[in-house]
């Protein structure tokens, strides 16, 4: 699958975070619904719960895009979707997930989707081959315990819920602290025609994401940046701006390369795609030979540490 041609705009920064708008003229699948608007139910497997699988059902009347790292909360433990999935109306299927709550395996609460998303650090672990992937996820969540205080069940969701209440300006090296960054992330505007973002932390690009439409981007961008903020807080990232030349060079890593189909990954109605080079890890899903969602991670960023 050929990479789309990308155009990177002028960035905006606050504290350690930077965000650059991305446009593309590449055609995208039409009619997809994603985020909170996607009417998708989640349940444990009918023959008994499994750490690595859940069942998703599209109860709506439109094709749904579920993105890698989406949090599926409740059930026997909180989990995160391990890869992108495109789900046709009325379809029910088992999907691969990773546990993000190591200390719990019980409970009767229903599973739910709130379109929240795991951090870039946790999502980077999803690129590792099984069975090492799950241990890597737990180790990365353990870093939040060490930096921000423990969770009773070693739960990523606990740390995400606490983020809005981390009012200590000393957690980051600028005066507005965590609460100021939370406000900035939530109020970040999107530009006309924008379909993607490059996000940077502490002077270097971390990730690039591309969606099929501006509305699809809007459904996920603020939750994605909130997870990145959690990474920045836990690592004590310095308030160093990310230069535009680095963002453009990061996007340029896609020039002339092709992602490979992954037939062993069940992406529903879509085709799972991935590629790893010296500098980047690429993942995503296509529908009708058009990119529906594309993620690019910087393998060399200290937050990600992708082997």
Token representation of residue 304: 């990600």
Answer whether residue 285 is part of any domain: yes
User: Which residues are registered as beta bridge partners of 293?
Assistant: 285
307 located within any domain:
no
213-266 pLDDT, tens digit each:
999 999 999 999 999 999 998 998 988 999 999 999 999 999 999 999 999 999
Q: Please compute the mean of the pLDDT values over residues 119-141 and round it to a whole number.
A: 89
Write down how long the chain is.
Answer: 307
For residue 304, tell me if it sits in a domain.
no
Residue 75 lies in a domain: yes
pLDDT band for position 174 (50/70/90)? low
Total domain count, the chain: 1
Residue 173 has pLDDT above 60, yes or no: no
Q: Which two tokens stand for residue 130?
A: 């099984």
Whether pLDDT at 109 is above 90? no
Instruction: Compute φ and ψ for 109, nearest 5 degrees.
Output: -70, 145
d(CA 96, CA 93): 10
Domain that holds residue 30: 6-298
In a domain, 1, yes or no: no
Domain assignment present for residue 278? The answer is yes
Both structure tokens of 101: 């709550």
Lowest mean pLDDT among 68-77, 122-131, 285-294: 122-131
Whole-prediction pTM value? 0.94
pLDDT (0 to 100) of residue 165: 73
The rounded distance, in Å, linking the Cα atoms of 268 and 87 is 6
DSSP helix/strand/coil, 122: helix
Q: Which candidate, 261, 303, 254, places its Cα nearest to that of 281?
A: 254
Q: How confident is the model at residue 184 (pLDDT cuts 50, 70, 90)?
A: confident
Q: Is position 29 within any domain? A: yes
- State residue 176's pLDDT score: 63
Greatest C-alpha distance within the chain: 52
């Amino acid at each position: 699958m050929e990479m789309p041609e990308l155009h990177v705009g002028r960035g905006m920064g606050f504290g350690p975070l930077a965000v650059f708008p991305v446009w593309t003229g590449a055609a995208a699948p039409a009619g997809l619904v994603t985020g909170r608007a996607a009417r998708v139910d989640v349940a444990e497997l009918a023959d008994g719960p499994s750490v690595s699988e859940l069942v998703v059902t599209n109860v709506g009347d439109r094709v749904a895009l579920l993105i890698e790292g989406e949090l599926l909360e409740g059930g026997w433990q909180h989990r995160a979707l391990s890869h992108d999935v495109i789900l046709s109306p009325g379809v029910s299927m088992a999907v691969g997930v990773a546990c993000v709550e190591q200390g719990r395996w019980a409970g009767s609460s229903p599973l739910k989707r709130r379109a929240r998303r795991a951090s870039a650090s946790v999502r980077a672990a999803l690129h590792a081959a099984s069975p090492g992937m799950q241990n890597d996820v737990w180790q990365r969540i353990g870093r939040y315990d060490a930096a921000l205080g423990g969770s009773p069940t070693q739960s990523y969701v606990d740390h995400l819920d606490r983020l809005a209440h981390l009012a200590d300006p000393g957690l980051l090296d600028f005066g507005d602290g965590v609460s100021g960054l939370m406000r900035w992330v939530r109020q970040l505007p999107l530009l006309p025609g924008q379909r993607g973002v490059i996000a940077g932390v502490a002077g270097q690009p971390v990730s690039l994401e591309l969606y099929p439409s501006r509305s699809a981007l809007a459904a996920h961008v603020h939750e994605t940046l909130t997870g990145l903020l959690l990474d920045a807080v836990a690592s004590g990232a310095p308030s160093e701006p990310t230069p535009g030349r680095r963002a453009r060079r990061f996007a340029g890593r896609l020039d002339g390369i092709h992602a490979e189909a992954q037939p062993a990954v069940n992406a529903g109605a879509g085709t799972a795609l991935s590629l790893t080079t010296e500098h980047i890890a690429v993942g995503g899903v296509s529908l009708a030979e058009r990119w529906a969602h594309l993620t690019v991670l910087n393998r060399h960023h200290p937050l990600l540490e992708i082997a």
